[in-house]
Structure 1
Amino acid sequence: MPMNESTELALKLLRQLTDTIEQLSGLSDDDLTFPTEHGCAMNGGVQRLLIHNAEHDRMHAGAVSTARYTAKQMQESQLSHLTRDLIFQRAELVGQLLHMDDALLDAKAPNDEWSIREHVEHVLYWEHNSMSQVASEMKSQAGSAAAS
């Protein structure tokens, strides 16, 4: 089934965020004061630009939400809410890993059996495993229904 343009735009936003995170991973807190002439920094440095970019996203997310509301096309589907929750939770996990010393990857929280690395690998493995299984089962059922 072809992807609709809205989903393509959402994926484009996620890819751009990945590119931005890759770029930011090469910076340190000391780089936040680096001056930039970009207009969105509003005569400030990298820190002000990043603050602007986050607020910019928040502002436009609000505008999209308002447009959906006005058009009476709010996100009512359960799948939309579950997908959005997955994105929020994944963002939290990703955020915990950013600018972390790699030596911590093998650290364990008190009373935890798993290291940080093991937690992340667990999430990656089981999400891939579960979604692959669902896709396979749905494909199999569709094939069975078509054969009937």
Structure 2
Amino acid sequence: MKAIEVMREAEIPAAPDQVWAVVSDAARAGDWFDFADRTEVVSGEGVGQVRTQYGHWGRRQSEVDQKLTEYEPGRVLAWKHVAERIDGKPAPKFAARTEFRIELAASEGTATTVRLRSVQTPGGPVKGWLMRRIGTKDIERNMDRSLERLNGLLA
């Protein structure tokens, strides 16, 4: 099954180290990351760190257990979803695999290009169709809002 990739990027008027200080800090996720109300570190640091992200899926409470797969200070933060819950129960499994990546690159002056990338492997053809028709738009909106919020924090 072909993966579904969604990517958004924006130029943030702050140096990469300033942007990294926000995007890499789990405690700051609720300040800018539209997918999260809050994120807590469960264990570890760097690659292999386990986090739980708390948020909403519509009107319902969501939780996503994440494991960091890449951690390059000032450049890349990436994770995979290990488990997902809605209202405390296992979430419907649309994606067989979900990965999220934040990339930073220095731009002109003291700006930073921030790229958000989601890659999901559908759990089957029907789930893939639904994800492409409905889920992709939600991810795009959340990414756009995340970049706007990050810009607001650092501008």
1 or 2 for the larger relative contact order (CA 8 Å, sep ≥6)?
2
| Structure with the higher fraction of residues in strand conformation | 2
Larger Rg: 1
Asked if these proteins are the same fold (TM beyond 0.5), I'd say: no
